[in-house]
Amino acid sequence: MTDSMYTPQDPTTQYPGPPFEKQQQSGPGDVHDMKPRPDHGEESYVGFGRLAGRKALVTGADSGIGRAVAIAFAREGADVALAYLPEEETQAKEVEKLVQDAGRTAVLIPGDLQDEAYNTELVEKTVEALGGLDVLALVAGVMPTVDSIDDFETETLDHVLKANIYSLFWTTKAAMKHLKPGASIITTSSIQGFVPSPSLAEYAVSKAGIANWTRAMAQQLAERGIRVNGVAPGPVWTPLQPAFVPPEKIESFGEEAAYGRPGQPAELAPPFVFLASQESSYVSGETIAVTGGTPTH
Ligand code: NAD
Ligand code: MG
């Protein structure tokens, strides 16, 4: 690990790689139960006011990539609404404190994104608490593994699509009356949306769908001056993995990346900041791959 995200060094050895200790969690997972502890930028993220005065909503903000995005947004000068599942309250409170330590306002809005009414409430409560909305960072997601088509269950696909895809439509529709020209919507796809693993068919379908939704919505919303982009992570060291993947696969987690190691959540935050900021004014409909050197197509 490094003092600052700007210290030049070999990226392949910047963070730990496999073998990792075998570990398993029950969903939705806790960053404190991960060995080693993930880096969400708590010590390393340096902001420059690139999002000064912006109001952002981040889903999945308690842990993993969403937590790193919330920390980065706050250090770049944004107020942040944090969405997460009710059972993740303790982790969300830590993120609230980190946002406040950056001198920004945080608001906690727990709930289940599979519920349409919560998605609308989430947007309304964000606007009420922060006085507006400029950036939607839609990071939350679920990743069940199903090894064989013989074990396919309708309710698994319903669950994945509700949490990963429907919520994009619901939150974005609710946000429309608040987003102004210059606003930015950022989705979270995956390398799985481009190069799927055999046991992740349901998830991979949702992640391909997210990249395509991003392309469609970018064209739809261009006339309103709203940009829509995505980030497609490769393997990232977050509780999603021990919560959904068998422990023996965690031992070698990230070894398939060209770097030979997984990414850390802190390494995913900068592309979200870039896409949220006016720096990326001519970028819309794009999904940026952050995969440690592995091609997505
Ligand atoms: P994570 O478990 O830390 O974050 C996922 C979050 O999604 C949870 O914290 C939870 O708050 C939220 N969530 C899940 N179901 C929800 C529901 N029904 N209602 C509300 N919130 C819900 O893991 P992460 O890896 O940081 O995941 C963030 C995103 O990154 C996900 O969309 C995931 O698919 C994507 N991603 C992760 C990896 C990886 O290797 N970790 C790789 C590619 C893409
Ligand atoms: Mg979590």
Length of the chain: 297
Residue from 45, 84, 203, 259 carrying the catalytic annotation: 203
Query: Is residue 2 scored above 60 in pLDDT?
Result: no
Contact 238, 38 (CB under 8 A): yes
The pLDDT value recorded for residue 132 is 98
**pLDDT score at 3:** 64
CATH 3.10.290.10 fits 51-143+150-290, yes or no: no
Instruction: Categorize the per-residue pLDDT at 27 as very low, low, confident or very high, splitting at 50, 70 and 90.
Output: confident
Q: Are strands 227-233 and 287-290 parallel, antiparallel or unpaired?
A: parallel
Left, alpha or beta for 131 (phi > 0: left; psi -120 to 50: alpha)?
left
**In the 8-state DSSP scheme, what is residue 279?**
G
Q: Tell me the residue type at 139.
A: V
Least confident of 27-31, 115-119, 234-238: 27-31
Query: What was the pLDDT predicted at 49?
Result: 96
Q: What is the mean pLDDT of residues 224-252?
A: 95
Q: Is the CB of 38 under 6 A from ligand 1?
A: no
Query: Chain-centre distance of CA 47, in angstroms?
Result: 19
Q: Report the pLDDT averaged over residues 142-146.
A: 96
When the pLDDT of each residue in the chain is averaged and rounded to a whole number, the result is 97
Find the radius of gyration of the CA atoms of the chain: 18
* Substitution candidate for ligand 1 out of 238, 241, 256, 287 with most atoms within 8 A of CB: 238
Q: Is the CB of 113 under 6 A from ligand 1?
A: yes
* Preceding peptide of 19 cis, ω within 30°: yes
DSSP 166: I
* Domain spans in the chain, listed from the N-terminal domain onward: 51-143+150-290
Instruction: Give percent of the chain above pLDDT 90.
Output: 95
Pocket test for ligand 1, best of 24, 65, 214 (most atoms within 8 A of CB): 65
Q: Is the Cβ–Cβ distance between 45 and 69 less than 8 Å?
A: no
Q: What is the pLDDT averaged over residues 231-259?
A: 94
* Residue 1: pLDDT over 50: no
pTM over 0.85: yes
DSSP annotation of 132: -
Phi-psi region of 81 (alpha: psi -120 to 50; beta: other; left: phi over 0): beta
Estimate to the nearest angstrom the gap between the alpha carbon of 193 and the chain centroid. Answer: 15
Active site residue 203: yes
Lowest mean pLDDT among 18-32, 173-187, 199-213, 259-273: 18-32
| Rounded Cα gap, residues 256 and 293, in angstroms | 10
Atom of ligand 1 nearest to the CA of 164: 32
Q: How confident is the model at residue 297 (pLDDT cuts 50, 70, 90)?
A: confident
DSSP state for residue 31 in the 8-state scheme = G
**% of the chain surpassing 70 pLDDT:** 99
Q: How far apart are CA 194 and CA 151, in angstroms?
A: 23
